[in-house]
Amino acid sequence: MVMDHNQAVRLKATERYLLNELDTDELEQFEEHLFDCQECALDLRAAATFLEQSKTILSEPVESPARLAKPAAAPPWLAWLRPAFLVPVLALLVVVIGYESLVKIPALQQASTKPAILPYATITVATRSASTPIVHGAPGQPFVLLVNIPAQSRFSSYVVDLYDPAERIQWSLPISAEAANDTVPLRIPALREPGTYVLSVRGVGQSSKDLSEIGKQPFELRFQ
């Protein structure tokens, strides 16, 4: 079952995802939801960026004249209460928040609603190809794979797995038997590195644990 947007908002899934507070089922449902919900994906990216910037800022040592002139060593936690330390940190946090709110987030929202032609490649699973399909993309840019799955009546549904160049699984996506009767357009979220990826398709039998591999097809992602 895939989490819908209203459920994600009600559960505060974005915040709990970053804090590792989601249970296993909620985690899987929310990660599947991210592939289809641009709003949640943007919220997650902005929140993650803010947390990363905050950690960087707060980890930088600050030396003040008052601190250097004081002979007695104070407890470390008192440094957080000193104006010489606290004021610059708060100022930097305000700058970061302002940048995210006024520049970065609106730019991401505009990019998500602006029409664009995405890079794509056609992949046929379980068919030996003389050449490896190539996707000419750019860093931070999603792309589309047009996947042809040889549908079989003994399977009730299918599972598509994506493996990175280091052969680590990136994500899994369930596909209904009805969708597999036609070419399946898969929108692949932006990948971090170029290289040869592998798309694997498994058929689901009578139970969700009854999986049979149908085939694997590599494709190459090149950054322009």
Burial (0-12, 13-18, 19+ Cβ within 10 Å), 138: exposed
Q: Would you state the pLDDT for residue 39?
A: 78
Q: Are residues 15 and 108 in the same domain?
A: yes
Q: Would you state the pLDDT for residue 163?
A: 96
Contact 118, 147 (CB under 8 A): no
Q: Are residues 194 and 128 in the same domain?
A: yes
Q: Would you state the pLDDT for residue 12?
A: 84
Please report, for the domain that includes residue 205, its CATH number. 2.60.40.10
Q: Would you state the pLDDT for residue 222?
A: 95
Q: Would you state the pLDDT for residue 164?
A: 95
Last residue of one domain, picked from the residues 54, 85, 113:
113
**Encoding tokens for residue 67?**
């601190």
Q: What is the mean pLDDT of each run of 10 residues along the chain (224 residues)?
A: 77 80 82 77 73 63 55 54 55 57 55 74 78 90 92 91 95 91 90 94 87 92 92
Q: Are residues 88 and 58 in the same domain?
A: yes
Q: Would you state the pLDDT for residue 87?
A: 55
Q: Would you state the pLDDT for residue 169?
A: 94
Q: Are residues 95 and 144 in the same domain?
A: no
Q: Would you state the pLDDT for residue 26?
A: 83
Q: Are residues 109 and 125 in the same domain?
A: no
Domain containing residue 197:
120-223
Q: Are residues 86 and 58 in the same domain?
A: yes
Q: Would you state the pLDDT for residue 22?
A: 81
Q: Are residues 192 and 147 in the same domain?
A: yes
Q: Are residues 25 and 101 in the same domain?
A: yes
Q: How many domains does the chain have?
A: 2
Q: Are residues 101 and 175 in the same domain?
A: no
Q: Are residues 196 and 131 in the same domain?
A: yes
